Each structure stands twice: as structure tokens, then as C-alpha cells.
Amino acid sequence: MDPLSLGYSPCPNDTYIFNALVHRLIPYAGPELAPPVLDDVETLNAWAMQGRFDITKLSCHAYGYLRDQYRVLSAGAALGRGCGPLLVTHHGDKAADPAGWRVAIPGRYTTAALLLQLYLPGCTTTVMRFDRIMDALEQQSVDAGLIIHEGRFTYRDRDLLCVQDLGEWWERETGFPIPLGCIAMKSGLGQDLHDAVSVGIVQSIRWAEAHPDACLPYIRAHAQELAPGVIRSHIDLYVNSFSKDLGPEGLAAIDELIRRGQAIGLLPVV
């Protein structure tokens, strides 16, 4: 068979997770993988709608549209506690009343976008790349924005105020960890290939844990924020036990996100 196509984001958690696998630094018995394509997660979401990659990073929100085409792998996910998107603003005096704000979101199909609609139903949004949101806030072209990835660690440097940690809100509402992103594989490729790729991802994470400094050149080559402390904090926050195995709790968290999205009419019943 041809090598399987692969796409994931340039964020430190993904490059940390996949470094050893794509650079063949570990024994790997799974299917051959084509050189990966790295791009913003919302771009990956859109490409998944077209079926571009055999294996791809997806927002869990986007996965709600694609369950008839892709299956979530047990490894590689961004899911946990205390790691949700932040609703931030430059309006310190309006922080208690965000209902009338125009909010920048990092993509229509991101989990952050769905969480915002669950938290503030019907709010006005404008879509832009995640790395442009804080600039838009500084220019006051929007009232608030959803901060994800490295921005979680740097928004205070821009004198921005956090109105709500949507991950904390989700945890209070549901009791589940927040399901941000997953690695999904085309359903038609079969269970054996799914399992083999999942095992390869786990081996890649374990190699990274044993050789953290060796991962840095690849991570830094793609990161938006190069400060070593920010990169380390990003990895520590988004790579955890769920990254090695979603388990029943992780899968239930994804199911609950999709169920709530369906309940407000934002996700189809597949």
C-alpha cells in the first residue's frame, strides 16, 4: 500500500509527540507514513472535511462532523484539566458583561468555538487565525478573543484580561476533562492499522520523555513562541496521560462535547 498521509499542527505538543515517529527514531511496526504536513488546526479541520489525510490532527468539535469518515486514535490527543481556551478582553471595565461583545475565534470548527457557543449562546463571532487574535485585541478591532496554544502563557504580556477560562467552566459543568483535539484516522483503514499507528505514537511520546532536549530543534523550528519556558509549559500542559491513552474517561469527554453540540443544533446527529 502507499504511505499513509499525515497532518498535524506546528504547536509544541504535536511536534513533541510526533518527532520520534516521523524521524524514525524508534522501532515502528506500523504502516509507512508519508512526510507530514504541518498547519494550523483549523486548516487541518477544513482539509479533513475534504478527506485529504489518512491520519490527521482534528479539533474534537470538527470530529463531531466527521465520525462517519474518521475514527479517533487512542493516542496523541490534547485533552486534560486546566488547559482550556481563555476568553480574554482589553475591556477591563466590561469584564462582567460580555454578552454584547464581538469575539474573535480561532476557527469555525475549533473546540474553542463550540465551547464559546455553549458558554455564551448566540454571541457574535469573527473568525481569524489563532496567532492573530491578540494583535486584533491590541488594535481594538474586536472586543474579546479566544486564546489557545502558546497564547495562554503570554496574553498577560499584552495587558489583556481573562474573563473566563472555558476549560474550568467545562469541568464545573460536566466533571469531564476538556477534549480539545485528537488524532483521527480514516475508518476504512481498519482496526489493525489504527492500533499499529496508536502504538507508534505512544512509543514516540515515550522517546520524547526520555530525550526532551533532543526534541527541541524540531519543536523550535515550528513554534510560534520560542521562549524555552513557554515551550516547556505548553508541552507540560497539553501532553499528559490522555495523550498516551484516551481511555474510557477521555472518550466519554469527547462524546459529551458532541452531545452538547448536538443539543444546541451546532453539530449533526451522525
Task: Return binding residues for substrate.
Answer: 57-59, 111-112
In our burial notation (b when 16+ CB lie closer than 10 A, e otherwise), range 131-159 reads eebbebbeeeebbbbbbbbbbbbbbeeee
Q: What is the DSSP letter of 155?
A: G
In this structure, the chain runs to a length of 270
Q: Taking Cα atoms as reference points, which of 31, 26, 30, 48 lies closest to residue 39?
A: 48
* Distances, alpha carbon 101 to alpha carbons 120, 125, 174, in Å: 10, 8, 26
261 CB-side CA count, 13 A:
26
Contact 49, 67 (CB under 8 A): no
Q: Taking Cα atoms as reference points, which of 29, 35, 27 lies closest to residue 3?
A: 35
Binding residues are 57-59, 111-112
For every residue of 147-208, DSSP letters joined together read E-TTHHHHGGGGT-EEEEEHHHHHHHHHSSPEEEEEEEEEGGG-HHHHHHHHHHHHHHHHHH
Q: Could you give the CA distance from residue 128 to residue 107 in angstroms, rounded to a whole number?
A: 6
- Residue 149 annotated in active site: yes
Q: Could you give the CA distance from residue 14 to residue 168 in angstroms, rounded to a whole number?
A: 23
Q: What is the DSSP letter of 36?
A: P
Catalytic residue among 23, 90, 91, 149: 149
- What positions carry a catalytic annotation? 149
